[in-house]
Structure 1
Amino acid sequence: MPDVPAFPMERDCPFDPPPELSRIRAECPVSRVRLWDGSHPWLVTGYDDQRAVLADHRFSADVTRPGYPHVTAASAARRKRSRAFISMDEPEHGMYRKMLTGTFMIKRVEALRPRIQRIVDDLIDTLLAGTSPADLVANFALPVPSLVICELLGVPYADHDFFQRCSRILVSTRSTPLEATTAADELKDYLSRLLERKSAEPADDLLSRLVAEQSGTLTRSQLADMALLLLVAGHETTANMIGLGTLTLLRHPDQLAELRETEDPKVVAGAVEELLRYLNIVHSGRRRVATEDVEVGGRLIRAGEGVIVTTDTGNRDASAFPDPDVLDIHRQARHHVAFGYGVHQCLGQPLARVELQVVYGTLYRRIPTLRLAVPLEEIRFKHDMLVYGVHELPVSW
């Protein structure tokens, strides 16, 4: 297939999907692309087609199936050694997910809002007491969700340098298979030892409850795989949304001013949904493999063929979002696909929403003169990571 474009594609603007992706969505919304390993999965770029694929049980999330379109050689090697439950199909996926649903229910997560508010306020206090300029990623965006997920799971935050280092290796597209598997093994061993301590000395945290309730159902290795997913996903995604969302708002000063001055939590919540739609940090797409022949968007996808759902283009589809390339914090954007769709949609989305609402509703109000400390051209964007964002965000006030 000599004319098949390579995926992923380069961006022209760091805040928008690659223009080639937008062209494909307009001209041939379901078409082939070429991956790093020479395979040619299908690319699904339109909003309606994406929701159809993500809701269809005939498209498998099982990374062990032949034809699954792995992101990199490193991710393929790591996932062959152990699978997270998000990479499983029903009923296995549902069994694991049910073990966690209660923890991430909206009512349960809302009860955490006061504690999240204290974490945010304390970090802002520390930031203001330090020197300006400062890196907002290292001093705020990364610590907020790291502290929250550590308290929820029962992982000592004192170990954050270790688990954040492992996480960076796991989500880097530049990691070799050996580097990724070594980092995963180190982190899994750490969590296995922690689970053993929880078994002997349980506390009021999620890992202690899982050990107590699931010891007869899951092995220690399976529990550690679950803990690894929750720890990495629980801080990487939200941290990147905080940094990238702040940079985006700094480039839209009128909307930032409105968000800073509002006392209406609905405006803040709406801004969170719009930023999730507009930015969509899952820039490598959601991946599936067909288990049967299925027609999508007028194209026949055969059993065993891989599929990549580029939710960044779905969230910029004019059929679902008028003027999709315009940031509008008053847009009704809750139906975006930033968290996926169907049974595999992000389990932790209620927690992410509360964290982002607290951050976006507090940071700019408490630091009203917050501004970039370097030109935009000097910002390093995470083109080399599975989760998109900024490596650093130098700010002053």
Structure 2
Amino acid sequence: MTATMAAVRDGVVAWVARRAVAKWLLAKYGARALAMLPEGVMLPLRRDGLDPVAEMEQMRADGPIHRVQTPFRFGVWLVTGEQETRAVLADGNAFSNDYARIGQTGFVKIERSPGGLGFADPPHHTRLRKLLTPEFTMRRLARLAPRVDEIIADRLDAMDAAPGPVDLVEQFSLPIPSLAICELLGVPYEDRELFQRLAAARFDVFGGANAALGAVSESLDYLREVVERQRVEPGDGLIGMIIRNHGDQVDDEELAGLADGVLTGGFDTTASMLALGAAVLLQNPEAARAVREDDAAVGPVVEELLRYLSVVQVAFPRFAKQDMEIGGARIKEGDAVVCSLVAANRHAGTDFDHTRVPAPGGHYAFGHGAHRCVGAELGRLELRAAYPALLRRFPNLRLADELPGYRTVSVVHGVERMMVHVR
């Protein structure tokens, strides 16, 4: 990380809350959240390099669902079975994601909706998703593809010009999704340098030191200003298009929340995939050769990387709306059910195999059901463009250090630093 980025991180309230747990825990407990969580809750957020820790693998082998010991007054269950994960994520009637229901648990006090789709139930969720979905079709995203290619080419030029080893995270995996989201949302040109720096000042909820209580409010306040300006003069991006097509159906708070959801859901996840996927390819020469030399191989390799890495380690917590049974376990109304996306994906194979034939039901890297990531196709577009461009520009690309600086505990797995030789 450059000195400029570090100064922004230290001087500005962190703008990007990593994922749902940031919004959930930091709202009341801030940096003390880590100390409050028992090991059973932390286990699905731990990694040993690219793999789940041994205890998590053993849990997956022992059964499809497990009661997690917590001090909370409601039960917490971790789902590791593939079929059980699919069933839970697909059942929008038996479970709730509504932020108000989370507040009713007594564990946290949420006075303001975090916005976006992750903490909403039908019919509110259905209405908001219908506003976003048309903007994420492949036909609509096709207009963004040339700009994504330009962003990637610019980053490769910068890497080529740099002396010595290059930090792939700083120079490649962070700027690409940041600028792509700028283009998608229609962030004003004059705000883009600020936008990039704030996006790069992300924080790890469980990393401790610089976690900030105001992360969600900071983001929503900025994006609300963008929305207000575009109410008067709509831009060509997603915000402007929604205003032109559905302006009377969505208020500023809702639209700012949707834009924030696109940012938090599409920035860190794609940045992590770009870096971790590159690390996997560099450790698998045959897969790297396939991506570099065969256009037809790129799509399947990307899908295997998504499955194998599962950078979003757990899905949004679901709260049971009624008593039920899952995998032989009795779940009570009000209990929280958390699905391990890593565990569900590893049922198809614990090793990376770029020749693997995808399972009929696909993978869970983007979730499943009504809350499946709405920006999945944007993520695929960036990955399918970035990997071959990187490997073709630098055919001798290799790690400068023995291992990247993997995160050890996080909702979104990734690396903080990854030094590479480009020639």
Instruction: Map 1:248-263 to 2 at 5 A.
Output: 248-262=280-294
Q: Aligned AA for 1:7?
A: V
Q: In structure 2, what is the equivalent of residue 280 of structure 1? A: 310
8 Å CA contact 1:68–1:288 kept in 2: the answer is no
Corresponding residue for 2:184? 152
AA matched with 1:250: L
Deviation track 1:75-100 (CA, whole Å, cap 9, x = no partner) reads x5668543322211111111000001
After TM superposition, the score normalised by the length of structure 2 is: 0.83
- Is residue 173 from structure 1 mapped to residue 206 from structure 2 by the alignment? yes
Letter in 1 for 2:84: D
Tell me: CA distance 1:67–1:331, structure 2 relative to 1, closer, same or farther (3 Å).
farther
Matched, 1:82 2:114: yes
Determine if contact 2:99/2:113 at 8 Å carries over to the other structure: no
1:52-96 per-residue CA deviation (whole Å, 9 max, x = no partner) reads 0101121222232158899xx8xx566854332221111111100
Taking the aligned partners of 2:138 and 2:384, their CA distance within structure 1 comes to: 14
Q: Does the residue aligned with 2:346 lie in a helix, a strand or coil?
A: coil
Aligned to 1:394: 419
Any residues of structure 2 matched to 1:75-154 within 5 Å, and which? 80-154=112-186
* Among 331, 337, 341, the residue aligned to 1:311: 341
User: Given the alignment of the two structures, is residue 295 of structure 1 paired with residue 315 of structure 2, yes or no?
Assistant: no
Q: Who is 1:270 aligned against?
A: 300
Q: Which runs of 5+ in 1 are unaligned?
A: none
Q: 1:108 to 1:216 in 2, by over 3 A?
A: closer
**Which of the numbers 381, 391, 400 marks the counterpart of 1:373?**
400
Per the TM alignment, residue 368 of structure 1 is displaced from its structure 2 partner at its CA by 0.6
Distance, in Å, in 1 between the alignment partners of 2:376 and 2:111 is 23
Q: What letter corresponds to residue 350 of structure 2 in structure 1? A: D
The Cα shift of 1:19 comes to 1.8
Q: How does 1:141-220 map to 2 (within 5 A)?
A: 141-155=173-187, 156-164=191-199, 168-169=202-203, 171-174=204-207, 180-220=212-252
Could you tell me which runs of 5 or more consecutive residues in structure 2 were left unpaired when the two chains were aligned: 1-37
Work out which of the residue numbers 400, 410, 413 in structure 2 matches 1:385.
410
Q: Distance in 1 between matches of 2:39 and 2:229?
A: 50
Measured at CA, do residues 233 and 36 of structure 1 come closer, stay the same or move farther in structure 2, by a change above 3 Å? farther
Correspondence for 2:277: 245
TM-score, with length taken from structure 1:
0.88
Distance 1:81 1:105, change over 3 A: closer
Rounded Cα–Cα distance in structure 1 between residues aligned with 2:287 and 2:415: 21
CA deviation string 1:371-393 (max 9, x = no partner): 111121xx322234321100111
Aligned to 2:387: 360
Provide the C-alpha distance between the structure 2 equivalents of 1:350 and 1:243, rounded to a whole number of angstroms.
18
- CA drift at 1:160: 2.8
Partner of 2:41: 7
Q: 2:259 aligns with which of 227, 230, 240?
A: 227
Letter matched to residue 63 of structure 1 = Y
Find the residue that maps to 1:6 and give its secondary structure. helix
Alignment length, in residue pairs?
Answer: 378
Moved more, 34-43 or 216-225: 34-43
Kept in 2: contact 1:8–1:284 (CA 8 A): no
The alignment's C-alpha RMSD in Å is 2.5
Identity within the alignment, %: 36
Q: In structure 2, how many angstroms separate the alpha carbons of the residues matched to 1:79 and 1:174?
A: 25
